[in-house]
């Protein structure tokens, strides 16, 4: 049975749907675009876009709508809609702040997000989590965002940690693929219920008692 390592050199968190409850913002925006093109929006459609960059989500929408040349137009619309939704604020997900603080007390931490810098900063600030991170990395700051490993490799390098001795927290297949490609261990809290996702640890929330115990053990190890 796979599990998270009892010691780690760094912990890197995804943001949307993992630390901050922004997936509702994205879902509202995505559903509106699908509706405008005469399509319903459910779990099948959400699976096409979750965890992807704005550009990749728009490209997937364009293909789904039978409009392969409309990616740029849809990306601009998606970004504007999400920006408006986020302006109303987004809360930290249960257990997120506590886990971030516990991990930060033991090892270096960072955020690696497939959102552009603008939306990442807005989400972390809105949820009151920005103060905990000195290192955050956005999709528009790497040549190839998730599912490529670039974001995780950049984060580990900045933290002075070996990817193979670091842990990623993710919620989507796209993010998991990126973390695995970079060589990190992966803890998963799925945004889509019932999703069959690769993982070393799988839970229903960051407030899971197993994670609390794991984070405390990291701290114990750091103090010895």
pLDDT digit string, tens, across residues 115-130 = 999 999 999 999 999 9
Measure the CA–CA gap between 16 and 80, rounded to whole angstroms.
Answer: 17
Question: Which pLDDT score is estimated for 224?
Answer: 32
Q: Is residue 16 part of a domain?
A: yes
Q: Do 109 and 42 share a domain, yes or no?
A: no
Q: Is residue 100 part of a domain?
A: yes
Question: Which pLDDT score is estimated for 193?
Answer: 81
Question: Which pLDDT score is estimated for 54?
Answer: 95
Q: Do 128 and 207 share a domain, yes or no?
A: yes
Question: Which pLDDT score is estimated for 219?
Answer: 67
User: Residue 114 is part of a domain; what is its CATH number?
Assistant: 3.40.50.1000
Q: Do 158 and 96 share a domain, yes or no?
A: yes
**CA-based angle 167:111:147, to the nearest 5?**
75
Question: Which pLDDT score is estimated for 194?
Answer: 76
Q: Do 99 and 209 share a domain, yes or no?
A: yes
Q: Do 108 and 185 share a domain, yes or no?
A: yes
Q: Is residue 2 part of a domain?
A: no
Q: Do 128 and 203 share a domain, yes or no?
A: yes
Q: Do 169 and 133 share a domain, yes or no?
A: yes
Q: Do 111 and 52 share a domain, yes or no?
A: no
| Angle between the N-to-C axes of helices 71-86 and 117-126, in degrees from 0 to 180, rounded to the nearest 10 | 20
Q: Is residue 136 part of a domain?
A: yes
Q: Do 169 and 79 share a domain, yes or no?
A: no
Contact by Cβ (8 Å): 107, 216: no
Range of the domain at 38: 23-86
Measure the CA–CA gap between 139 and 137, rounded to whole angstroms.
Answer: 7
Q: Is residue 78 part of a domain?
A: yes
Q: Is residue 70 part of a domain?
A: yes
Nearby residues of 108 by Cβ (< 8 Å), 6 or more positions away: 9, 10, 11, 135, 159, 160, 161
Which parts of the chain have pLDDT scores under 70? 1, 219-224
Measure the CA–CA gap between 45 and 120, rounded to whole angstroms.
Answer: 23
Question: Which pLDDT score is estimated for 42?
Answer: 95
Question: Which pLDDT score is estimated for 196?
Answer: 87
Q: Do 53 and 132 share a domain, yes or no?
A: no
Q: Do 154 and 113 share a domain, yes or no?
A: yes
Domain count, the chain: 2
Q: Do 151 and 136 share a domain, yes or no?
A: yes
Q: Is residue 5 part of a domain?
A: no
């Amino acid at each position: 049975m796979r599990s998270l390592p009892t010691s780690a050199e760094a912990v890197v968190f995804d943001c949307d749907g993992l630390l901050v409850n922004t997936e509702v913002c994205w879902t509202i925006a995505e559903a509106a675009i699908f509706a405008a093109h005469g399509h319903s929006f459910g779990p099948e459609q959400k699976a096409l876009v979750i965890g992807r960059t704005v550009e990749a989500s728009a490209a997937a929408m364009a293909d789904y709508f039978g409009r392969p040349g409309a990616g740029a137009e849809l990306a601009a619309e998606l970004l504007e809609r999400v920006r408006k939704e986020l302006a109303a604020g987004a809360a930290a997900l249960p257990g997120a702040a506590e886990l971030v603080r516990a991990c930060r007390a033991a090892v270096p931490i960072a955020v690696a997000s497939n959102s552009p810098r603008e939306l990442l900063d807005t989400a972390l600030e809105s949820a009151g989590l920005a103060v905990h991170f000195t290192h955050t990395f956005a999709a528009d700051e790497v040549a190839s965002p998730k599912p490529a490993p670039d974001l995780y490799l950049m984060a580990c390098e900045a933290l002075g940690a070996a990817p193979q001795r670091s842990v990623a927290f993710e919620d989507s297949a796209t993010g998991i693929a990126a973390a695995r490609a970079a060589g990190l261990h992966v803890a998963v809290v799925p945004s889509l219920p019932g999703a069959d996702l690769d993982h070393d640890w799988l839970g229903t929330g960051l407030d899971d008692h197993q994670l609390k115990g794991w984070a405390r053990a990291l701290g114990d190890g750091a103090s010895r």
